[in-house]
A and B are shown apart, each in its own frame.
Chain A
Amino acid sequence: MSSRRPTFRHPDLPENDLGYTRRDYEGAVSTLCAGCGHDSISNAIIQACYELSLEPHRVVKLSGIGCSSKTPAYFLGKSHGFNSVHGRMPSVATGANLANKDLLYIGVSGDGDTASIGMGQFVHIVRRNLNMTYIVMNNGCYGLTKGQDSATTDRGSASRKGHPSPFEAIDLCQLAIQMGSGFVARGFSGDKAQLVPMLKAAITHKGFALVDVISPCVTFNNTVTSTKSYQWVRDHREATATVDFIPPRQEITTQYEPGTTQSVTLHDSSVIQLYKSGDSLDITNRRSALDGLERHREKGHLLTGILHMNEDLKDTHAILETTDTPLNALTEKELCPGDQVLAQIVEAYR
């Protein structure tokens, strides 16, 4: 019986700019079902954080309740973590972010935690544009309670021993675009080549970033009748574009035919370069993104990739015009500046 993962790693593991190897971003061994898409997403997060050379102690991982929300235990073992109440991760994230805006916030949630019990919280965190990455591990079912249909189960899709879902599904990406999110992407747990650069872009983006990842539930929802199975997603998936994440100060070396690429520069001057095939959408245009999603939905296809980006939006702190110093770092001296300052303020209102 090996519930323990050996402590040995490949002796030639490469190091990132901080001198850390991928191992420094690992967490505990997963207790999810073998083959769960969530594990693959956890590893994509590990890979993205490793490649971005994030300092683990500067990252906060937050989650709600569900299979997906267990995963922060399985990545970034040296970061801060908060496993909150069902559907209430956005509130906790908002509180944490308001207190200390200098940390990086990665929220992990599921389709139940986001689109059912947490829907009210979700839409508001999007419209407030809180600076965080919000990852939905979307398996279209309630895996932790034996696979009942969720709010993202497509109409007509049936899980193991289930009936075809009679209800319309919520498309979290469409919703987030409508709520004004400046970064919306959809990935697939079975394609890390696409997912890792998207996560890197999402983490680097300033403001709210949604990454909706289709993540098959191997135990309850990986059937031929399900639209969230490995097979269905592979057969019906189309990508907006191939995503390259180019960190600051790195030269763009990949050459594509003119007119087929679109570049978006992020606030820290890293560049997202997209290589499009055929008549793709313009991801900087909200309407084009919504059109694209609708077009593919009508054809019965699943559109993945970066769907929408807007680097000009203000995040919560900018909207609220908070101080440059994080609120938790303000001391009594700044918060209670004394009688003289009070007198000046009062004077200003006379």
Chain B
Amino acid sequence: MNPTDITNPEYFHRVIDCQFACPAHTPVPEYIRLIAEKKYTDAYMINWESNVFPGILGRVCDRPCEPACRRGRVEKNAVAICRLKRVCADNKGNITQRLPDIPKKKNGKKIALIGGGPASLTVARDLLPLGYAIDLYDDQSAAGGFIRSQVPSFRLPKTVLDEEVNLILDLGVKTYFNTYISSMKSFLDKAYDAVFIGTGAPRGRDLDLPGRQAGNAFIHIGIEWLAGVQYGHQKKTGKTTLVIGGGNTAMDCCRTARRLGGENVTVIIRGPREKMKASPWEIEDAVRENIPILEYLSPTAFVVKEDRLTGMTFQLAPGSPASDQEPVFIPCDEVLLAVGQQNAFPWIEKDIGLIFDDQGRPRVDEITFQSSIKKVFFGGDAAFGPKNVITAVAHGHEAAISMDLFCRGEDLSKRPLPFTTLAGQKMGLHDWMYHSDVSDEHRQAVPMVSTVKSIKDRLMEVELGFDRKIGHTEALRCINCDMQTVFTVQDCIECDACVDVCPTTCINFIENKEEEDLRSSLSVPATNRSQFLYVSDLLPTGRVMVKDENVCLHCGLCAERCPTAAWDIQKYTYKPAKAGQK
């Protein structure tokens, strides 16, 4: 293999698994260390810069970082990154002094945001400090988009949502609420220099089965029903409610139904439980609230008798371990459909030059988020279909960069580079600027309100969050993957001290080979292909140093036991490019 080029900004970025997995590339280890040092406000601001909604995401994020967490590969569970994010949000001090300065004198460019969800708010947050005038249009009475209309209050209290949304609006967004844009054609006539569309994927899929029309009063589209609950239109559900679907919306539906008088709420999915789309912790929470999940059932009809829905029939779905082909009848009073959602742009005329694909999605550049009309940009679910909040935020950042370049008349493909630093951490012989001791603690359980109590009040938040003490214990579980092991080949005397001390057998001194052979000939073969091998230049004995990054604990022992400081621990900072950055 060729020697690893550690000057490539992406190499060490990949080693920080959590940050790399995060669509917005939040510097996770950095803020977790600050939590361990009780610097909650600093930790909050790092998050705020990067993911804009730390308090919200600390509760409802999809957590792509956690399955990626290296800790989850050396022991059973990953670090509870998401809940730590909430710790810094819950314990932060006053941040008003730390918010960006918004220039009084504007730069003369006007931007319109259609839809007030996380993607649009991110664009506003990134462009306001650059002097843009920003108008936000939304058909709801407040900003937040799907986070406001669909995420139930027992997962995300309204106060948290309002606080973080208003933080951005108060930077100087001009809002037009309760304003439905019914024609893109006429909207484009307004004098905006650029338009961002972040209207989400607002159309819930329906199930066109026999009895659908007859039972209409008792059958609801999940996302619409959730919005109805959030706005207080929907106050009750049937005693026996079926929820069809296995995604996070289904989980929100079933748990909300439990709180609206649904005594027997059942989730029904077509496949096996292991293949459910919902996040594992949301499934866990539903199960905890006594909601059974029935597998391998495909709905075939709604059964309506005397104008009342009495139940649904199902047949066994392919792959079921049971062989009974008889249709199953499950009685119920109400049905919630959570079988997916789609993009819908009924307000965009087909003849204005915006190109859509067969599935009704706009043609959007995956890097610049620019559409076929140069000044129109898309982001969030509106761009590439339903994903999650953190992805919408990441889209917002990129779109903001593009819109800024566009308004300045520059080439959108010439993106600003990420900001990176590599800084030595040595304080003494066995002393580093970070807490290098690896904690043996297991993942901390989050305190929760008892089910009996929380079922009675749909506004009561179920998770109480970590307190400072548990948060501190959990923060110390982070193994600091941004503390990079940097190897200087010229200084190595090949004494093997690093090989011998490495607790997880990462380091090898062997003959160089092609990657395939090299991976299999390490002392513990490097089978995790998503992880890089760090290969040095040739050493005096003709061998090379090969480090498998896979389960490195970043404990610093290789550097502590190195007599010549050929190993060093250096902190890698990776900040994705921001709008306005030169």
Q: A43 touching B496 by the CB < 8 A rule?
A: yes
A189 with B437, Cβ < 8 A, contacts A5-B557, A35-B564, A234-B541 known:
no
Q: Does B527 contact A (CB under 8 A)?
A: yes
Q: Does A349 contact B (CB under 8 A)?
A: no
Q: B527 touching A12 by the CB < 8 A rule?
A: yes
Q: Does B220 contact A (CB under 8 A)?
A: no
Interface string of A23-50 (1 = CB under 8 A from B): 0000001100111110110110000000
From B74, B430, B496, B541, A40 is in contact (CB under 8 Å) with B496
A2 to B555, CA, bound (A): 8
Q: Does B563 contact A (CB under 8 A)?
A: yes
A218 to B557, CA, bound (A): 18
Q: A10 touching B564 by the CB < 8 A rule?
A: no
Q: Does B561 contact A (CB under 8 A)?
A: yes
Q: B562 touching A34 by the CB < 8 A rule?
A: yes
Whole-angstrom distance between the Cβ of B53 and the nearest chain A Cβ: 33
Q: B500 touching A43 by the CB < 8 A rule?
A: yes
Q: Does A1 contact B (CB under 8 A)?
A: yes
In the complex formed, the residue of B with least CB distance to A29 is B501
Q: Does B524 contact A (CB under 8 A)?
A: yes
Q: B494 touching A190 by the CB < 8 A rule?
A: yes
Which residues of B lie under 8 Å from residue A12 when comparing CB positions? Answer: 524-525, 527
A218 with B495, Cβ < 8 A, contacts A8-B438, A34-B563 known:
yes
Q: Does A3 contact B (CB under 8 A)?
A: yes
In the complex formed, the residue of A with least CB distance to B555 is A6
- For A7, A14, A33, which residue has the most chain B Cβ atoms within 10 angstroms? A7
Within 8 A of A (CB), among B535-552: 540-541, 551
Q: B430 touching A10 by the CB < 8 A rule?
A: no
In the complex formed, the residue of B with least CB distance to A235 is B540
In the complex formed, the residue of B with least CB distance to A230 is B493
A234 to B553, CA, bound (A): 32
Q: A190 touching B555 by the CB < 8 A rule?
A: no
Which residues of A lie under 8 Å from residue B74 when comparing CB positions? Answer: 8, 11
A222 to B564, CA, bound (A): 12
Which residues of B lie under 8 Å from residue A33 when comparing CB positions? Answer: 563
Q: How many positions in chain A have a CB within 8 Å of any CB in the partner chain?
A: 35
Which residues of A lie under 8 Å from residue B555 when comparing CB positions? Answer: 2, 5-6
Q: Does B556 contact A (CB under 8 A)?
A: yes
Which residues of B lie under 8 Å from residue A34 when comparing CB positions? Answer: 497, 560-563
Q: A190 touching B495 by the CB < 8 A rule?
A: yes
Q: Does A336 contact B (CB under 8 A)?
A: no
A17 to B505, CA, bound (A): 20
Whole-angstrom distance between the Cβ of B502 and the nearest chain A Cβ: 9
Q: Does A9 contact B (CB under 8 A)?
A: yes
Q: A3 touching B430 by the CB < 8 A rule?
A: yes
Whole-angstrom distance between the Cβ of A160 and the nearest chain B Cβ: 13
Q: B495 touching A9 by the CB < 8 A rule?
A: no
Which residues of A lie under 8 Å from residue B500 when comparing CB positions? Answer: 39-40, 42-43
| Interface magnitude class on chain B | 35 or more
Q: B496 touching A190 by the CB < 8 A rule?
A: yes
From B440, B497, B524, A39 is in contact (CB under 8 Å) with B497
Whole-angstrom distance between the Cβ of B309 and the nearest chain A Cβ: 51
Which residues of B lie under 8 Å from residue A37 when comparing CB positions? Answer: 495
Q: Does B73 contact A (CB under 8 A)?
A: yes
Q: Does B280 contact A (CB under 8 A)?
A: no
A3 to B436, CA, bound (A): 10
A222 to B495, CA, bound (A): 11
Whole-angstrom distance between the Cβ of A112 and the nearest chain B Cβ: 21
From A3, A4, A35, A192, B497 is in contact (CB under 8 Å) with A35
A14 with B556, Cβ < 8 A, contacts A4-B437, A39-B497, A43-B500 known:
no
Q: Does B228 contact A (CB under 8 A)?
A: no
Q: Does A216 contact B (CB under 8 A)?
A: yes
In the complex formed, the residue of B with least CB distance to A6 is B438
From A9, A10, A13, A234, B540 is in contact (CB under 8 Å) with A234
A22 to B524, CA, bound (A): 11
Interface string of A222-238 (1 = CB under 8 A from B): 10000000110010000
A18 to B312, CA, bound (A): 58
Whole-angstrom distance between the Cβ of B74 and the nearest chain A Cβ: 4
Which residues of B lie under 8 Å from residue A42 when comparing CB positions? Answer: 500
A5 to B564, CA, bound (A): 20
Whole-angstrom distance between the Cβ of B175 and the nearest chain A Cβ: 51
Q: B505 touching A10 by the CB < 8 A rule?
A: yes
A11 with B505, Cβ < 8 A, contacts A35-B561, A35-B564, A230-B495 known:
no
Interface string of A186-206 (1 = CB under 8 A from B): 000110100000000000000
Q: A5 touching B501 by the CB < 8 A rule?
A: yes
From A8, A13, A30, A40, B495 is in contact (CB under 8 Å) with A40
Q: A13 touching B562 by the CB < 8 A rule?
A: no
In the complex formed, the residue of B with least CB distance to A35 is B563
A4 to B437, CA, bound (A): 7
Which residues of B lie under 8 Å from residue A35 when comparing CB positions? Answer: 493, 495, 497, 561-564
Which residues of A lie under 8 Å from residue B494 when comparing CB positions? Answer: 190, 230
A12 to B561, CA, bound (A): 24
Q: A13 touching B496 by the CB < 8 A rule?
A: no
A4 to B527, CA, bound (A): 28
From B504, B505, B527, B556, A2 is in contact (CB under 8 Å) with B556
Within 8 A of B (CB), among A27-76: 29-30, 33-37, 39-40, 42-43
A2 to B503, CA, bound (A): 13
A22 to B564, CA, bound (A): 27
A231 to B540, CA, bound (A): 10
- For B75, B503, B560, which residue has the most chain A Cβ atoms within 10 angstroms? B503
Which residues of A lie under 8 Å from residue B501 when comparing CB positions? Answer: 5, 29-30, 39
A13 to B505, CA, bound (A): 9
Interface string of B350-383 (1 = CB under 8 A from A): 0000000000000000000000000000000000
Which residues of A lie under 8 Å from residue B564 when comparing CB positions? Answer: 35
Interface string of B59-89 (1 = CB under 8 A from A): 0000000000000011100000000000000
Within 8 A of B (CB), among A205-227: 216, 218, 222
From B75, B437, B561, B563, A8 is in contact (CB under 8 Å) with B75
A22 to B73, CA, bound (A): 19
A8 with B436, Cβ < 8 A, contacts A34-B563, A35-B561 known:
no
Within 8 A of A (CB), among B494-548: 494-497, 499-501, 503-506, 524-525, 527, 540-541
Whole-angstrom distance between the Cβ of A10 and the nearest chain B Cβ: 5
Which residues of A lie under 8 Å from residue B557 when comparing CB positions? Answer: 2, 5-6
A190 to B563, CA, bound (A): 14
From A7, A11, A14, B440 is in contact (CB under 8 Å) with A7
Q: Does B101 contact A (CB under 8 A)?
A: no
Q: Does B431 contact A (CB under 8 A)?
A: yes
From B430, B524, B527, B563, A218 is in contact (CB under 8 Å) with B563
Which residues of A lie under 8 Å from residue B562 when comparing CB positions? Answer: 34-35
Q: A2 touching B430 by the CB < 8 A rule?
A: yes
Interface string of A244-284 (1 = CB under 8 A from B): 00000000000000000000000000000000000000000
Which residues of B lie under 8 Å from residue A230 when comparing CB positions? Answer: 493-495
Which residues of B lie under 8 Å from residue A231 when comparing CB positions? Answer: 493
Q: B540 touching A216 by the CB < 8 A rule?
A: no
Q: B540 touching A2 by the CB < 8 A rule?
A: no
Which residues of A lie under 8 Å from residue B438 when comparing CB positions? Answer: 6-8
A191 to B494, CA, bound (A): 9
Q: B496 touching A2 by the CB < 8 A rule?
A: no
A11 with B497, Cβ < 8 A, contacts A2-B555, A2-B556, A6-B553 known:
no
12 pairs from A and B in contact (CB 8 Å cutoff): A1-B430, A7-B438, A8-B553, A9-B504, A10-B524, A12-B525, A35-B562, A36-B497, A39-B501, A39-B561, A43-B496, A234-B541
Closest 5 CB pairs of A and B: A35-B563, A6-B438, A43-B500, A8-B74, A40-B496
Q: Chain B residues in contact with chain A, CB under 8 A?
A: 73-75, 430-432, 436-438, 440, 493-497, 499-501, 503-506, 524-525, 527, 540-541, 551, 553, 555-557, 560-564
- 11 additional contacts, CB 8 Å, given A9-B503, A35-B563? A2-B430, A5-B555, A11-B73, A35-B493, A35-B495, A35-B561, A40-B500, A43-B499, A190-B496, A218-B493, A230-B495
